[in-house]
Amino acid sequence: MSYNRVILVGNLVADPELKKTNSGKSVVSIRLAVGRNYSKTGENNTDFFNATAWEQRAEFICRNFSKGKQILIEGQLQNRSWTDKDGQKRTVTEINISDVSFVGNKSGDSASVSSGSQSPSEDRVDIPSYGSSPDESFSDVSSDDELPF
């Protein structure tokens, strides 16, 4: 059995730029800066990851995200190889994006809004996202005395 799934939250290093393949498919390649801390030293580092989105997801990213904005991506790791103009074989490992979500809101709070949610002022692509929208069947509990356990 194999399993290949990556979920990252980070900031875009540059504005996404939508491109078209020769066959007319939309594609965007992004670079994501993701913080990583060392527990022993307390030191923070940043890792950079390349990711690619196709078709509707690519268009969604280009419409809604810009340099410095936080983004959540989910996808699969994949290796891509090619021969450069000098005849050297090159390989890159990147994330093939299967889902994308907002992280935070316009005021910078840490709430999460799914890319599949509807907003009257923005055009949205219905991209499935799991666990990011509240279930209306849940209700707030006002005190610990009301907890069932």
Predicted local distance difference test score (pLDDT) of residue 37 = 76
Q: Establish if 142 belongs to a structural domain.
A: no
Cβ burial, residue 115 (10 Å; 0-12/13-18/19+): buried
* One-letter identity of residue 52: T
Q: Kindly state whether residue 82 falls inside one of the protein's structural domains.
A: yes
pLDDT of residue 11: 95
Number of structural domains (the chain) is: 1
- pLDDT value for 135: 44
Residue 149 lies in a domain: no
How far is 51 from 75, CA to CA, in rounded Å?
Answer: 9
- Classify residue 32: in a domain, yes or no: yes
Q: Is residue 133 part of a domain?
A: no
101-129 pLDDT tens trace? 998 765 444 333 334 433 333 334 444 44
Is the model more confident about 142 or about 95? 95
Q: Helix or strand or coil: residue 21?
A: coil
CATH number of the domain to which 62 belongs:
2.40.50.140
Q: Domain range spanning residue 57?
A: 6-116
Whether pTM exceeds 0.75 = no
Instruction: Identify the pLDDT of residue 141.
Output: 52
Q: What angle do CA 36, 42, 45 make, to 5 degrees?
A: 30
Of 22 and 143, the structure prediction assigns the larger pLDDT to 22
**131 in a structural domain:** no
Residue 87 lies in a domain: yes
